[in-house]
Amino acid sequence: MSNEEFDLLDELYFVQDYTYLKQTLGWEDALLLDTLAVLHEQGWIKCLFDPDRECFGEIDIRTLGKDLLFLATKKGLLAHTTL
């Protein structure tokens, strides 16, 4: 797990939107969207349209990520805490 992946997962113990993540981490859009995409591909985060509606199936985070919410999955939390 990269330092960026670790830092991002650290912010996703609760549902967070893109703007919060960008402001908190201070990253450029490309880095944040790429890291979110990698975490999603690994099954470490899930994406939501709103707090009660999860995105299922394929989703292009690099294109739609700014409009989504994010939350660490159980698998992601385990990976984050076992390092």
Q: How many domains does the chain have?
A: 1
Tokens of 50: 């709103």
Of 26, 12, 31, the closest CA to residue 69 belongs to 12
Tell me the mean pLDDT in the region 2-25: 96
> Does position 57 have pLDDT exceeding 90, yes or no?
no
- The domain in which residue 36 lies consists of 3-81
> Does position 42 have pLDDT exceeding 80, yes or no?
yes
What's the rounded Cα separation, in Å, for the pair 24 and 31?
14
61-83 tens-digit pLDDT: 999 999 999 999 999 999 998 86
Question: For residue 55, what pLDDT is reported?
Answer: 87
- The predicted model scores a pTM of 0.92
CATH number at residue 25: 1.10.10.10
Terminal-residue alpha carbon distance, the chain:
9
Amino acid letter, residue 82: T
